[in-house]
Amino acid sequence: MKHRSAIAATGHKFRTKNISKRVQKIVISPIKEMSILADLFQEKTGADIISFGQGIPYFDTPSLIKKGIKKALEQLDTAKYTLEPGITELRELITKDLGKRKRIENIEAKKEIMINTGCQETVACALASTIDEGNEVLLFSPSFASHIEQTIQFGGVPKFVPLIEESGWRINFQKLKSQTSKKTKVILFSNPSNPTGSVFTEKEVRQLADFAKKYDLIIITDETYDFLLYDDVKHFSPASLPDVRDRVILCSSFSKRYALTGYRVGFAFADQGIIDHMLKVHDALTICAPAISQKAAISALKSDQSSVEEFVRKLSFNRELMCQKLDELKDFFEYQKPMGAYYILVKYKFPKINSFDLALKILYEARVITIPGGAFGPTGNGHLRFSFACSPQEIEEGFKRLFKWATTFPIP
């Protein structure tokens, strides 16, 4: 346990009496554990803390979307549960958006799209609908921390497929094959990747699709960061391949694209036969996505998209800034430059310290939140995840602190 939880690493003891074995095996994703620990530290000491932790855009929801929310407040139906699969207009807008941006054709909005309470819940519904106790789930290592916890929560066994760091976190298809067995039901990944910032090529995605077909697997693809790409790299979705469309569950969110992380609204696109079942889980988990958030998403998709372009420009700037800062600290850190999303999974050169202890040390000593790489699977050990979604000023200040702190840390 110690190596998967920052809270456990602080020495916190967990109750075991009357607690399910299943939940004893999971942890709060260390992405949020670090925020919780920082909040407690702040309360205790009054320290001001810079966060390179949880990936939250520093800018506000665009004013056009807020205008839509205010208008929604005047409508009686905003107070009320929506239809469980989501507001029909939103499902139709998503259908159009997927057609336009991913060239996915002939989607039946009312049968193949469902709205969730954030993409986290979308993935939860997808896993619950496709795995039983003891089934195996292929996860890349590093993998999004919550994908690991969700897999275990629903009774699955994570089978890690190490990515090749040196070539920019690429897929090792031989390892993929060797980790696959008769118990394997699902391959689950985020692309662009959280936490590595890598973007799988069309060739890689096509190979994954062929692989899934050959071994009769469901592909769960989390495409939350599909709009956030750098240096002209292209995103390619397996859901656009007719050949595997009935085995792909595309999960996505409005959180990052429209600065709506607080609103909890995401969606799934999948074969009707799969959506039928995901809706049952959705009902058992949250009934429906928040009405006001669905209306925010409607407003977002109907608005002029220049705010998205502006976000990408701002985050591109931050990417360059953080890479430059990391270069200045090359005695302590090395990294693969991210091609999408807003994370860098940094390899550290501090010896003999695991990533959980290091992240806690940096929080308490430098007052900077970073995420222990061990949270993202075995290949994440020896790394810290940095988010550059914070403001440029925070990047400047955070690295000032890190520089001061690192130069006092004994390097052999």
User: What residues between 3 and 62 interact with a second copy by CB under 8 A?
Assistant: 12, 14-15, 17-24, 26-29, 32, 35-36, 39, 54, 56-57, 59-61
Q: Assess 291 for contact with a second copy (CB under 8 A).
A: yes
Query: Would you say 391 and 317 are in contact if contact means Cβ atoms under 8 Å apart?
Result: no
Q: How far is the CB of 117 from a second copy (least distance, A)?
A: 5
| Segment near a second copy (CB under 8 A); pick from 71-79, 192-200, 298-306, 307-315 | 71-79
Interacting residues with a second copy between 357 and 386 (CB under 8 A): none
Which has the closest alpha carbon to 403: 318, 327, 317?
A: 327
Q: For 118-201, where are the E strands, in sequence order?
A: 136-141, 157-162, 184-190
The only residue of 1, 164, 284, 353 in contact with a second copy, by rule CB under 8 A: 284
3-13 as b/e: b if 16+ CB within 10 A = ebbbbbbeeee
Per CB under 8 A, contacts with a second copy among 162-221 are: 185, 216, 218
* Rounded-to-integer distance, Cα 223 and Cα 52, Å: 22
Contact 270, 278 (CB under 8 A): yes
Choice from 179, 180, 190, 293 touching a second copy (CB under 8 A): 293
In angstroms, what is the minimal distance from the CB of 88 to a second copy?
A: 8
Verify binding: residue 79, a second copy, rule CB under 8 A.
yes
- Residue bearing tokens 């700037």: 317
Closer residue to a second copy (CB): 291 or 395 = 291
Q: How far is the CB of 395 from a second copy (least distance, A)?
A: 17
Q: Which residue has the tokens 């921390």?
A: 145
Task: Report how far apart, in Å, the C-alpha atoms of 143 and of each of 64, 127, 150, 258, 353 are.
Answer: 34, 15, 12, 24, 21
The answer to whether 390 contacts a second copy (rule: CB under 8 A) is no
Closest CB 347 distance from a second copy, rounded Å: 26
**What is the footprint of a second copy within residues 94-153 (CB under 8 A)?**
117-118, 120-121, 124, 128-133, 135, 146, 149-150, 153
* Residues 110, 86: Cα–Cα separation, whole Å: 9
